[in-house]
Homo-oligomer: A and B are copies of this chain.
């Protein structure tokens, strides 16, 4: 078993409204950052995982996303694995 560092990015689906992102966009405009034309906000998770191989670590991380970390209706996720 080896240790891996898994980076998971969970973002609201592109076709859905993102009220949190819109609120931050308005706040940035109010602070003078007029050059911002869109903001979307999601989660970034860093997991430390032990697994026999990099592929196994990625498969388990995707299973965690499907079970808990991402909402399959409203969110998309991506998984990046590197040796710890």
| Contact flag A11-B44 (CB < 8 Å), given A64-B33, A64-B36 | yes
* Alpha-carbon distance between A64 and B33 when the two chains are bound, in angstroms: 8
Size of interface on A: residues with Cβ below 8 Å to B:
34
List chain B residues, Cβ under 8 A from A9: 44
User: Does A41 count as interface, using CB distance less than 8 angstroms?
Assistant: yes
Q: How many copies does the complex hold?
A: 2
24 examples of A-B residue contacts, CB within 8 angstroms: A3-B37, A24-B45, A24-B69, A27-B68, A28-B64, A31-B68, A33-B60, A33-B63, A33-B64, A35-B50, A36-B48, A36-B49, A36-B64, A37-B48, A37-B49, A38-B46, A38-B48, A39-B46, A40-B46, A41-B43, A41-B44, A42-B43, A42-B45, A42-B46
